Structure 1
Amino acid sequence: MTAPESSSDLLSLGHSGERFRIAMVVPPYFDVPPKAYGGVEAVVADLVDALVDRGHDVTLLGAGEPGTKAKFVPVWDRAMPERLGDPFPEVVNALRVRRAIERLAATSGVDLVHDHTFAGPLNAPAYRGLGLPTVVTVHGPVEDDCYHYYRELSSDVALVAISDRQRQLAPDLQWAGRVHNALHVDQWPFRADNDGYALFLGRFNECKAPHLALEAAHAAGIPLVLAGKCSEAPEKAYFEREVVPRLTDSDHVFGLADATAKRKLLTGASCLLFPVRWEEPFGMVMIESMVCGTPVIALRGGAVPEVIVDGVTGRICEDPDELPGAIAQAGELDPAACRAHVVANFGSDTLGRGYEEVYRKLLRERRKQRVARLLEVTAPVPVGASGFA
């Protein structure tokens, strides 16, 4: 006869209507949701709200001020955007989060840890000692050093890709699933007309290639607004080397856009330029643009073909020389179709459902393993196995 299941076990059965207790971990650099830059933080904000709306108990561990429907446990007094790229806050964040989760597990209880940081997943063996599996969303690239890191890590955690392309680039990693990023559609405005400018919105670096956006906009004869992050030394060097020499009187450098300014810029643009020169893991700004009714003109790379419907919600170009012609065709695309595509495929409820399925499979497997171990321990000893008749 086996021991009765605990209430925690019952939460892990995978039946309809189950309720998970989730410890959600974020980096210490930005608030959730972010006030300006912060792609990971924007996704996590929508995810935790969607999970709470679906009946789950979510505790968010991070820095800054509470801004979601989840319970909030601050492990820092404030967010530290000025220290982005500094490994020290990331490592200390992992240590503080581990202590906080240990306390949480001993009090209100936890079913699993979902980590969105880089160093935090190194705590997975400690969490396993508490009976907690760890889910890790891979928000960045899976190549070079990052690939080796995730390969070593993947036996301890359940890795989740944010695009099919990201998973294809590292097929030998132990992926638990793929969940596209998403957003709360009702928090984004829609506009059918525009103010006649093209928009670049993103980090200023070679991968995002705003210099190609400038060249394409000039060739198409359309003003370009450039908005985004340019605070780290490599970004500043790139901006001075590649952007400044290309600027003309028709261009406007807006700077870093907060949440309100971003929405205004996107709704006023005739198109968003997304001339990526790398394997983009997802590209949140593409769905943010389309939900506002603004088509995306992009170069093929990474997840771009998974996000844009070519000829419907934007244009996917194979070469930078194709960008000016695609910009000219942007006015032929239906803004309503752009928003409808996001509603159907990238709404926050799809995000919640996607991770729910990952949690369900992971916890079901954990329970099966625990039952199997219990059966081994309680299995009857065959007659004679002890040395007695």
Structure 2
Amino acid sequence: MSLSTTTPTRSEATPADGSAPLRIAMVAPPWFELPPRGYGGTEAVVASLVDGLVDRGHRVTLVASGAHRTKAQRYHRVYPVTPTERLGDPLPEVINAAQTARVLAGAEFDIVHDHTLAGPLLARSRKQPTVVTMHGPVDGDNGDFYERLGSSVDVVAISDAQRRINPRLNWVGTVHNAIDVPSFPYRADKDDYVLWLGRFSGQKAPDEAIRAARAAGRRIVLAGKLNEAPEREYFDARVAPLLGPDAEYVGEADAALKRELLAGAQALVFPIQWDEPFGMVMIEAMACGTPVVATRRGSVPEVVEDEVTGIVVDDLDEVPAAIDRARLLDPAAARRRAEELFDIPVMAARYERVYRMLVEGTASIRDLTRRSEAAVTRHSGASSPR
């Protein structure tokens, strides 16, 4: 483990509106590099946000692991090599939080944006606001955890659908995820296949994507992560028996292959069976001019404009016909929607508004709330029977 600090030389921009730059501590999970070379949805968003904020003139200090390939002016490396193989082990998260505490103790920041699980436990002791983006579930144990953190963290949703699942969290806004749209190749002419891209699980339903494509008489290409035991078990039991000349698995797609596959596909088939808070692959497809055929779950209706940038269906039985209809949609409309709503500058500007609201507008209210909570806790403890 390394506790090093690097200070790359960067151009010092200032915010275009003339306001003072914000000093932002950005805390990433330790599991994958930023940006990730393959799988790593949260890390891809964090890397994009860092670059977008620096481009807007802010000062970003990044706490992460592995190689430093973002525009952050300062970088604190926790692990020299990301401990990906230990994913699920709590200790790397705890060490990441401990290093974050050291970084915050040694410098002045206006705001902390923490994307980890363990890090927000330290938020109550900080003088700066701590923003937490909910990249994962907001119900079950995960939701219970953030409910118990109360007003010590200011929570941002990645979709309105996610917010509706658990209104008890200390929500301060919704900011959709984003990608570097110009880095995705736009193609109006498509090849002879549809695409499924994701993680092999029942929630993502790759087997249903194969059945739908086959019913529509279309060849399907599948690419996805297949390195954890549950993923392999699902693939062997539910997907492998369906593969054939018209259904091909090509492995996990790196950044280059993902772009090639998305740009060439006639449609992205996204038959999710859970309320996914946000599906990055949907906006990646639209950036390539590829329509999305998806079930009406989670954030899908917020991301896909039905009958314009894709087809949204209520039932799996409707997917084959939707794959056929998707051929009639204008690829340029999908690209425009990605540029207007899901590009990095859009996401960075929205997060900046959240930061400024917290730093400039609600600090005194937050302090009052925390003092009230502390008083209630002390009173409760004093009157508890022993």
Same fold (TM over 0.5): yes
Partner of residue 100, structure 1: 103
Partner of residue 120, structure 1: 119
* Partner Cα distance (2:334, 2:51) in 1: 24
CA displacement at 1:372 relative to structure 2: 9.0
Which residues of 2 match residues 1-389 of structure 1 at below 5 A?
A: 17-70=19-72, 71-103=74-106, 105=107, 109-126=108-125, 128=126, 131-365=127-361, 367-368=363-364
* Partner Cα distance (1:351, 1:240) in 2: 38
* Partner Cα distance (1:81, 1:361) in 2: 35
User: SS state of the match for residue 30, structure 2?
Assistant: coil
If the length of structure 2 is used for normalisation, what is the TM-score? 0.88
Q: Which whole-Å deviations, capped at 9, do the CAs of 1:39-97 have from their partners, x for residues lacking one?
A: 11111111111100111000111001111111321111111222222222222221222
* Partner Cα distance (2:75, 2:259) in 1: 27
User: SS state of the match for residue 151, structure 2?
Assistant: coil
* Partner Cα distance (1:50, 1:241) in 2: 42
Q: Which whole-Å deviations, capped at 9, do the CAs of 1:92-112 have from their partners, x for residues lacking one?
A: 221222222222x2xxx2111
Unmatched 5+ residue regions in structure 1? Answer: 1-14, 374-389
Q: Is the 8 A contact 1:147 1:170 kept in 2?
A: yes
- One-letter identity of the residue aligned with 1:320: L
Change (3 A) 1:114 1:372: closer
Q: Which whole-Å deviations, capped at 9, do the CAs of 1:175-232 have from their partners, x for residues lacking one?
A: 0111011112211111111111111110001111111111111111111111111111
Q: Is the 8 A contact 1:141 1:279 kept in 2?
A: no
* Partner Cα distance (2:234, 2:188) in 1: 35
- One-letter identity of the residue aligned with 1:36: G
* Partner Cα distance (1:372, 1:276) in 2: 43
Q: Sequence identity, in percent?
A: 53
Return structure 1 stretches of 4+ with deviation > 3 angstroms. Answer: 365-373
User: SS state of the match for residue 33, structure 2?
Assistant: coil
* Partner Cα distance (1:136, 1:370) in 2: 15
Q: Which whole-Å deviations, capped at 9, do the CAs of 1:254-295 have from their partners, x for residues lacking one?
A: 111111111011011111111111111011110000000100
- One-letter identity of the residue aligned with 2:160: D
Q: Is the 8 A contact 2:151 2:366 kept in 1?
A: no
Structure possessing the higher radius of gyration over alpha carbons = 1
Partner of residue 10, structure 1: none
If the length of structure 1 is used for normalisation, what is the TM-score? 0.87
Counting matched residue pairs gives 352
Superposed CA RMSD in Å reads: 1.7
* Partner Cα distance (2:300, 2:118) in 1: 28
